[in-house]
Copies of this chain bind each other. A is one copy, B any other.
Amino acid sequence: MLTPMRWTQEGLYLLDQRLLPRHEQWNLCETPEEAAEAIRDMVVRGAPALGLTAAYGMALAARQLANEEACHSENSDSHRDRDPLDRHSYMDRIFEAATMLTDSRPTAVNLSWAVKQQLEVAAQTVGTGGGVGDLYGALIDKAQKMHEEDILTNRSIGRHGAALLRDGDRILTHCNAGALATGGYGTALGVIRFAHDAGMNVQAYATETRPYLQGARLTAWELTRDGIPVTLIVDGAAGMLMQRGDIDAVVVGADRVAANGDTANKIGTYQLALAARENSVPFYVAAPTSTLDLDTPYGSGVEVEKRDPAEITQFMGEQTAPDMVRAVNFAFDITPAELITGVITENGLAEAPLLESLERMIRVNKPHGGDSGA
């Protein structure tokens, strides 16, 4: 199973997605700082994968504390008499890591969702007298459980989404909401993958997704790897294909879905949704309930990240635009709820009006243990 991250004794290995499809290089993160840097620099991307990286990053923070204590205990034999202040300072360090990881990128809500869960685990462990070793153990257990659950979640999204497709469907997707964007299997690509694995004759159309070319570099790569037919187009060609009747459904991922259903996703998604409505093509968002942010009532409340203009003015280090030209590089846009046919979650399809149906998707989940990604 393709996954963009692997936990080992050494730490968290992340597949460097900036180098795909030309090189498969795994970068080791040994500290929460390195995990945050990997998120900021887009070694890893995709809302669910960012959440998991942050969850592992929290475990790395605890491991750092455990290592420090181990060093300290070699120089002192009073380490058994840990006083409450120590625990406070542990938690201060854990909170610092939490803030750093949450702030590493602003738009994907999964970062704060994952960090919040790890903070609960930390508070419980420390509150019941656990030491840093226990803290590390609890946080790494939780991160690994979240990783496993994410894959199960994506399979459920895939199953619910595939039920909406018909044999022969041509499905347009944007950016990469695949195995590489999650713990594995993918959300939007999970839908296509599930349908394909179930023997349906489906094929994908992938927008190349400027400026980072996640569609060309990642989606095309992971689908061809799995033998799923995929056709690459430029972002501007999606509308024309829909107009020609070449697309049967659009399925995209999400970085954050507001309570009313407004969806933050990769820049360009909004234009695809407009073209889909114009041409009566159903437009689905595939996202785990961990990407639903009921605390944000509307899309206008979502902070949209602005990234380095050089991502547009340069390509592979080569200047493509004239020197000194101004560029604005919003990483995401907001697709209004009224353009969305439905949100495919692990608990089923939320249909319009999304304000009610999305809340139901989260409530469905609560009895199973409170982990909204479960």
Please report A residues at the B interface, Cβ cutoff 8 Å.
Answer: 21-22, 207-211, 213, 216-217, 220-221, 224, 229-241, 243, 266-271, 274-275, 278, 309, 312-313, 315-316, 318-322, 324-330, 333-334
Contacts and interface: CB of A to CB of B under 8 A. Distances in A.
B22 A319 contact: yes
B270 A239 contact: yes
B278 A216 contact: no
A51 B276 CA distance: 35
Contacts of A316: 315-316, 318
A312 B232 CA distance: 8
Contacts of A239: 268, 270-271, 274, 333
B333 A220 contact: no
Contacts of A237: 267-268, 328-330, 333
B217 A321 contact: yes
A220 B278 contact: no
Given A231-B326, A316-B316, 6 more contacts: A209-B236, A216-B312, A221-B322, A231-B325, A236-B266, A271-B274
A210 B236 contact: yes
Contacts of A278: 274
Contact of A268 (B234, B313, B322, B327): B234
26 contacts: A208-B210, A216-B312, A216-B313, A220-B321, A229-B326, A231-B326, A231-B327, A232-B312, A232-B313, A233-B312, A234-B235, A234-B312, A235-B235, A235-B268, A236-B267, A236-B333, A237-B330, A239-B270, A240-B267, A240-B330, A240-B333, A241-B328, A270-B275, A274-B274, A315-B316, A316-B318
A196 to B, nearest CB: 16
Nearest to A315: B315
A147 B255 CA distance: 51
**Interface residues of A: mostly helix, strand, loop or mixed?**
mixed
Contacts of A321: 21, 208, 213, 216-217, 220-221, 232
A199 to B, nearest CB: 22
A343 B332 CA distance: 32
B271 A327 contact: no
A329 B232 CA distance: 9
A230 B327 CA distance: 8
Contact of A233 (B22, B269, B328): B328
Contact of A243 (B21, B325, B334): B334
A334 B268 contact: no
B236 A320 contact: no
A161 to B, nearest CB: 23
A333 B270 contact: no
Contact of A327 (B233, B240, B267, B269): B233
Contacts of A220: 321-322, 325
A275 B271 contact: yes
**Most chain B CB neighbours (cut-off 10 Å) among A234, A269, A274:** A234
A217 B266 CA distance: 24
